[in-house]
């Protein structure tokens, strides 16, 4: 090797050593930085953010499964079930784990009986969780489970079921897809029936998500049970007869309520139109409205009981006081207000004024009372205030104070106009006469029972005396006369039991004109039986009946008779044999 070659080799080796040294330095630096980064990360995980990462680890190591909330059962007063629960499975997917959304959608849709396009939309959701189908029957859920499709899971859920379908729909109400109360008792007592939100059962799992804990027993969270005041049998009687009346008179809507006048217990409450509790979404919104407590109307002649009660209680008149109605009309505020029938153009006693529903006679009594006392008794009988019934949506109605009355108002109010009330308010007013002079608070829940049967709530009778027994005695005799020969509601009479009540026929306000219509009427009858020891008080209100004569005594009174006659038999109430 020449000197030149030797020198060249030395320089080459030196260069390689320098490069190797540089590489070593770089490698050591990288390893040092990496090691330092690991140390920093460990400090962050173990010291600075220990709790956050510990919680994250727990979530990764522990799986959870929903424990269904079992809503309490709703019973009628005899123990019959009105609302129960059915075990179902809800299907969900983790779209990222579904290998073939198209094929999966087709397979699922055959069982779910829905279009594949609907299913595939859920399978392609941009999330780790997507509902595929809620509250599927157990047998169908098992069919899907047998397909063993990756990314498809199941969560147990409770579905509310109503054995009676549409029976008592406006009282019971219904729940939403997440088992929360939306209407009626289901909403009003939701916190008792559901006892809170859903709960979760936690279990160990492996890295693949498989449950490691074995032999666990998953329980249910049981809500409290409700016992209602209504009777399924009486409810059926009311609804059957209300359906027949709506059909016969081609009415736009109708309401009937039955109450124990002594306690305020609602024994039955029905509205038409109605809806199926098991398919509320398939019904018009207006059909779900509980018209018995949400809709107000000017009641017409059923209000006259307030005028008569005030006159007797104040000592202005008694039932034998004579009132000259011979002119057939009376001027109020410069306007003539007339009686509907010519045979009333004579002198009538106060009892006959009520029996024959004389407008002229009633207005004359009101003029003797004066505006202030008429308004006082209107309020005393509960008009213009909510009854306090334990249902959602109740309105107070309205009655204006005298300072806002016109010159015509005292005449209008006396015969049931310019006072808007719900059917529930009107029935409660008549219950005052039935129970001896007390204004009671109506209610539909009798008891709330814990899952083990312990009574945690029991309804109390709430009542307040508003008129004397002496006045009640006179009013009862007057209302009896209404259903006897010569009265406006002979068609409400029942063989074997004395009936007391009053007819009402009023013009409705036409929304198009803002004035009372001579064609759109509301016909009603409200009363109680047996007259001297009432078991039930009932109101029937028929809106817009079609026909030549649609007075309350013709349209509503016969419905009252059929309901009460069947109900007294159902309850085993003996005949009083007062009627010959």
Rounded to an integer, what distance in angstroms lies between the CA atom of residue 531 and that of residue 433?
10
Rounded to an integer, what distance in angstroms lies between the CA atom of residue 97 and that of residue 109?
18
What's the pTM? Answer: 0.83
Residues 157, 158, 160: CA angle, nearest 5 degrees:
145
Confidence of residue 131 (pLDDT cuts 50, 70, 90): confident
Contact predicate 325/339, CB 8 Å: yes
Contact predicate 308/207, CB 8 Å: no
pLDDT > 90 in the chain, percent = 62
Please state the rounded mean pLDDT for residues 81-91.
89
Residue 306's alpha-carbon distances to 189, 377, 389, in angstroms, are 34, 7, 22
DSSP states along 230-255 = --HHHHHHHHHHHHHHHHHHT-SEEE
The yes/no answer on whether domain 232-571 falls in CATH 3.40.710.10 is: yes
pLDDT at 60: 55
pLDDT at 130: 77
Please state the rounded mean pLDDT for residues 150-171.
90
Read off the pLDDT of residues 516-565 as tens digits, 9 standing for 90 and up.
888 899 999 999 999 999 999 999 999 999 998 899 999 999 999 999 99
pLDDT at 290: 97
Same fold, 64-200+216-228 and 232-571: no
Read off the pLDDT of residues 449-492 as tens digits, 9 standing for 90 and up.
999 999 999 999 999 999 999 999 999 999 999 999 999 999 99
| β-bridge partners, 256 | 270, 540
pLDDT, the chain, mean: 87
pLDDT at 215: 39
pLDDT at position 394 over 50: yes
| β-bridge partners, 501 | 527
pLDDT at 119: 77
Question: What token pair was written down for 559?
Answer: 């419905």
Rounded to an integer, what distance in angstroms lies between the CA atom of residue 119 and that of residue 115?
7
For the chain, domain boundaries: 3-62, 64-200+216-228, 232-571
Please state the rounded mean pLDDT for residues 162-183.
94
User: Shortest CA distance to 423 belongs to which of 455, 399, 474, 387?
Assistant: 387
pLDDT at 216: 42
pLDDT at position 273 over 90: yes
Q: Which residue has the higher pLDDT, 71 or 196?
A: 71
Class for the domain spanning 64-200+216-228? alpha beta
Please state the rounded mean pLDDT for residues 128-139.
79
User: Shortest CA distance to 162 belongs to which of 97, 265, 74?
Assistant: 74
pLDDT at position 202 over 60: no
């Amino acid at each position: 090797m020449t000197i030149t070659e030797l020198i060249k080799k030395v320089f080459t080796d030196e260069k390689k050593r320098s490069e190797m040294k540089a590489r070593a330095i770089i490698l050591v630096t990288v390893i040092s930085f990496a090691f330092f980064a690991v140390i920093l990360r460990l400090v962050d995980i173990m010291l600075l953010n220990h709790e956050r990462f510990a919680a994250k680890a727990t979530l990764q190591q522990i799986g959870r499964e929903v424990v269904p909330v079992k809503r309490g059962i709703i019973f009628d007063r005899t123990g019959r079930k009105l609302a129960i629960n059915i075990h179902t499975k809800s299907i969900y997917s983790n779209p990222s784990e579904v290998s073939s959304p198209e094929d999966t959608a087709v397979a699922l849709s055959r069982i779910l009986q829905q279009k594949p396009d609907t299913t595939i939309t859920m399978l392609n959701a941009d999330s780790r969780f997507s509902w595929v189908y809620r509250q599927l029957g157990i047998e169908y859920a098992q069919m899907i489970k047998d397909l063993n499709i990756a990314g498809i899971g199941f969560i147990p859920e409770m579905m509310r079921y109503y054995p009676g379908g549409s029976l008592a729909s406006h009282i019971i109400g219904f729940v939403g897809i997440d088992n929360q109360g939306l209407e009626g008792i289901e909403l009003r007592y939701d916190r008792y029936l559901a006892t809170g939100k859903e709960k979760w059962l936690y279990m160990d799992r492996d890295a693949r998500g498989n449950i490691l804990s074995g032999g666990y027993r998953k329980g249910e969270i049981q809500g409290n049970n409700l016992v209602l005041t209504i009777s399924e049998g009486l409810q059926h009687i009311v609804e059957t007869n209300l359906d027949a009346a709506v059909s016969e008179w081609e009415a736009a809507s109708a309401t009937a309520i039955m109450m124990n006048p002594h306690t305020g217990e609602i024994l039955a409450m029905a509205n038409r139109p109605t809806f199926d509790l098991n398919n509320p979404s398939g019904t018009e919104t207006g059909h779900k409205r509980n018209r018995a407590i949400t809709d107000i109307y000017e009641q017409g002649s059923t209000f006259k009981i307030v005028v008569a009660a005030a006159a007797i209680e104040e000592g202005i008149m008694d039932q034998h006081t004579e009132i000259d109605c011979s002119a057939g009309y009376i001027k109020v505020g410069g306007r003539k207000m007339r009686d509907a029938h010519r045979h009333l153009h004579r002198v009538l006693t106060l009892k006959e004024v009520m029996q024959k529903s004389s407008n002229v006679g009633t207005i004359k009594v009101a003029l003797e009372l004066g505006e202030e006392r008429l308004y006082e008794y209107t309020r005393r009988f509960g008009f213009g205030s909510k009854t306090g019934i334990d249902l959602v949506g109740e309105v107070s109605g309205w009655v204006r104070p005298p300072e806002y009355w016109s010159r015509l108002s005292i005449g209008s109010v006396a015969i049931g106009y310019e006072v808007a009330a719900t059917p529930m308010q009107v029935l409660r007013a008549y219950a005052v006469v039935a129970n001896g002079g007390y204004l009671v608070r109506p209610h539909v829940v009798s008891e709330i029972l814990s899952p083990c049967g312990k009574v945690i709530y029991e309804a109390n009778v709430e009542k307040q005396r508003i008129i004397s027994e002496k006045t009640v005695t006179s009013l009862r005799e007057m209302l009896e006369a209404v259903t006897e020969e010569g009265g406006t509601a002979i068609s409400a009479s029942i063989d074997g039991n004395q009936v007391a009540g009053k007819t009402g026929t009023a013009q409705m306000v036409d929304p198009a004109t803002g004035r009372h219509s001579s064609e759109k009427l509301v016909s009603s009858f409200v009363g109680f039986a047996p007259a001297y020891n009432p078991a039930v008080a009932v109101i029937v209100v028929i809106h817009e009946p079609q026909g030549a004569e649609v007075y309350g005594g013709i349209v509503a009174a016969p419905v009252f008779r059929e309901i009460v006659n069947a109900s007294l038999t159902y309850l085993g109430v003996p005949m009083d044999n007062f009627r010959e």
